[in-house]
Amino acid sequence: MGRHGTIAGRKAAQDSKRAAVFTKYARLIMVAAKAGGDPDYNPSLRTAIDKAKGIGMPNDNINRAIKKGTGELGGSNFEEGQFEGYGAGGVAVVVEILTDNKNRTTASVKHAFDKFGGNLGTPGCVSYMFDKKGVIVYDREERELDEDELMEAALEAGADDMITYDESFEVMCDPNSLEQVKQALVDAGFEPDAWDVENIPTMQSTPDASQLASLRKMIDALEEDDDVQKVYTNCSIDLDEE
């Protein structure tokens, strides 16, 4: 299964692009902090902070982002958005953004699609090929976990399913129940390595081998844009592997 854009698929890329990832998470914290700067009374902010800490973001960066979000330090007004289109080989691509200048971001995203043989489409042109799911990831390479015990705990916590990969277990749940399911698993002794709401492809596309280089270059160009938060594809080939 091609899983580019999912938590597990982004892990290695995040390690090599730490500064850019900090920028993206800082924006998430800023947006969440607009509803209040105290994470004890703002679940969205608490979640954003937990994710930022999970990738090693320094506390100073986190606190600065909170203050910008609450207006204490002043900051830009960011808005969320989404672009959809096709990459090389007809692979469906969903690009989630967080930007303070929609025109700039639109031009940048369109350029990446055009340059590497893709086509930027209209809203809804490919999103029907994805389902939003809460995903909770357990890294099998970092520690030993009993698959049956984790599955039992996940189902008791209200999860829909658990998928086993060579390098990870991924618990799937309703996106609106993500925090409750995650906390129930933590209470059961299963601290996750990552969690988020993800776009999971319901149908897949397999490009020719000759088209993979262009597709990877387009994804890289999009992910290098500070305004882009996540990029999802329905490619059946794992684009994070050469």
Full DSSP string of 183-196:
HHHHHTT---SEEE
Q: What is the reported pTM?
A: 0.84
On whether both 43 and 102 belong to a single domain, the answer is no
Q: Report yes or no on 239 lying in a domain.
A: no
Examine the fold and report which residue of 70, 87, 122 is the final residue of a domain before the chain moves on.
Answer: 70
pLDDT at 1 over 50: no
Of the two residues 5 and 73, the one the predictor is more confident about is: 73
Burial label for 36, CB within 10 Å (0-12, 13-18, 19+), is: middle
- Judge contact between 98 and 227, C-beta under 8 A: yes
Q: How confident is the model at residue 4 (pLDDT cuts 50, 70, 90)?
A: low
d(CA 237, CA 224): 21
Q: What percent of the chain has pLDDT over 70?
A: 91
pLDDT of residue 241: 66
pLDDT of residue 143: 85
Q: Strands of 228-233's sheet, edge to edge?
A: 119-120, 79-86, 92-99, 228-233
Q: Report yes or no on 35 lying in a domain.
A: yes
pLDDT of residue 12: 52
Of the two residues 203 and 44, the one the predictor is more confident about is: 203
On whether both 83 and 175 belong to a single domain, the answer is yes
Q: Report yes or no on 237 lying in a domain.
A: no
Q: 162 vs 97, 129, 152, CA distance in Å?
A: 28, 21, 10
Q: Report yes or no on 51 lying in a domain.
A: yes
Residue range of the domain that includes 11: 7-70
Of the two residues 16 and 46, the one the predictor is more confident about is: 46
Burial label for 24, CB within 10 Å (0-12, 13-18, 19+), is: buried
d(CA 70, CA 230): 24
pLDDT in tens, 46-86: 989 988 898 889 999 999 999 998 888 876 788 889 999 99
Q: Which is nearest to 78 in space by CA: 98, 50, 52?
A: 98
On whether both 149 and 47 belong to a single domain, the answer is no
pLDDT of residue 242: 58
Tokens, residue 95: 């690009």
Burial label for 209, CB within 10 Å (0-12, 13-18, 19+), is: exposed
Examine the fold and report which residue of 42, 70, 98 is the final residue of a domain before the chain moves on.
Answer: 70
Do strands 92-99 and 228-233 pair parallel, antiparallel, or not at all (unpaired)? Answer: antiparallel
